[in-house]
Structure 1
């Protein structure tokens, strides 16, 4: 595997976490625009994508492979919990 192939392989592993974090951050900014005004979109996305990336790694360690439903549950929790914390507790 070439270095470019390895890069794309890793990027595609974390793409669902990054995409879900972006969608949830946008939904927070659109649905609760007054309450979420002090929070920057990039901060919401960054913490959500970091939590999702950790969840992907934990699911790989615990479940042995990617693509299981329990892994996707961990992914959703990993993305949602940091954004919930930023939005509701850190306001």
Structure 2
């Protein structure tokens, strides 16, 4: 596998986590922008993205291949939880 193919595989591996993190960070910005102590959108994106990549790696190790629906379900649940914590959702 050459370098471009490896880069393509890595980018496709982290793409669901990056997209979900971006959608959650932008939605959180518009839905809960008036709260104090909420980090900036790019910090929320970075935290959610890091957790999403971690969940994807754990799913790859557990199931032995990428793209399992259980991994995607865990990705959504974990990223949603991180975004809820970042937005201080328990203070509503």
| RMSD (CA atoms) | 1.9
Aligned residues: 90
What residue number does 1:49 align with? 49
Contact 1:29-1:37 within 8 A present in 2 as well: no
Q: In structure 2, how many angstroms separate the alpha carbons of the residues matched to 1:59 and 1:40?
A: 29
> 1:63 matched to which residue of 2?
63
- Runs of 4+ in structure 1 off by over 4 angstroms are none
Cα distance in 1, alignment partners of residues 57 and 24 from structure 2: 20
Other structure's SS at 2:65 match: coil
Indicate the residue corresponding to 1:27 in structure 2.
27
Gaps of 5+ in 2: none
Q: Does the 8 A contact of 2:48 with 2:79 survive in 1?
A: yes
Deviations 1:24-83 (A, max 9, x none): 000000111212674201000000000000000011111121122101111112322222
Provide the rounded CA distance (Å) in 1 between the counterparts of 2:5 and 2:36: 39
| Rounded Cα–Cα distance in structure 2 between residues aligned with 1:38 and 1:56 | 26
Structure 1: unaligned runs, 5 residues or longer: none
